[in-house]
Structure 1
Amino acid sequence: MSLLQSFRSFFSIADPYYEPDPETALMVFDLQEIAVVCHKLRPRQFGQVEYRGRYWSATCLEDLVLLPGTRVKVVDRVELILVVTPIAAVQSRAVLSKKRIEQTA
């Protein structure tokens, strides 16, 4: 089970009757947008980010400490908690993926 799956299962246990409506979630929440860290995010712990002018609890599933002012990409939302990844990590993964594709071709 991946860390993200275990994170989601933790919240489904907290509220076993919660079933999100995917269409509504897409209308009111856009993933892949930029947020800014307000309070330090430690690995697998909660911190705070500013997203669309509001403060949200957030977590990063990578083994990184994200300091205030760090720009992050919102990759998921579990109820009222945003799951973020640093923009530099997203860009480096894209470069690594491109290199792997070039090497296999």
Structure 2
Amino acid sequence: MFNPVEFFYFIFNPSKHLEQRIAPPFAYLLEELAREAIVTETIHPHQLGRAYYRSTWWNAYCQEDIILPEGESVRVVGISNITLVVEPKTTARSQAG
């Protein structure tokens, strides 16, 4: 039976609704995917680059002494003003030299 209250609750608060219905391992995977961005302009150590995150382009910055090349998948660890703070997802990293 159609429940209008549940329908509107889902429309205005989908994440809460989905968390209750998805098994914990899948909920963790969804959360992890939500923090993933793709580098669209190479990020050099301590310099701004660009990344695509949640359907928009952002300035992005990495605090580690590594180069994140265009096309690399990165993890978003924070947002400072209008800049993403990212780190590599993989252990193989390009060292700045």
**TM-score, normalized by the shorter chain, greater than 0.5:** yes
1:79 to 70, 78, 81: 81
Specify which of 67, 70, 73 is matched with residue 72 of structure 2: 70
Percent identical residues: 35
How far is the alpha carbon of 1:53 from its aligned partner? 1.2
What RMSD over aligned residues (CA atoms) do the two structures have, in Å?
2.1
Larger radius of gyration: 2
With normalisation by structure 1, the TM-score equals 0.54
Unaligned runs of at least 5 residues, structure 1: 1-29, 90-105
Higher helix share: 1
Q: What residue is the counterpart of 2:59 in the other structure?
A: 57
* Distance in 1 of aligned mates of 2:45 and 2:53: 20
Q: Is structure 2 residue 74 aligned with structure 1 residue 47?
A: no
TM-score, normalised via structure 2 length? 0.58
The structure carrying a bigger strand percent of its residues is: 2
Divergent runs of 4+, >2 A: none
Indicate which of 88, 91, 105 corresponds to 2:90: 88
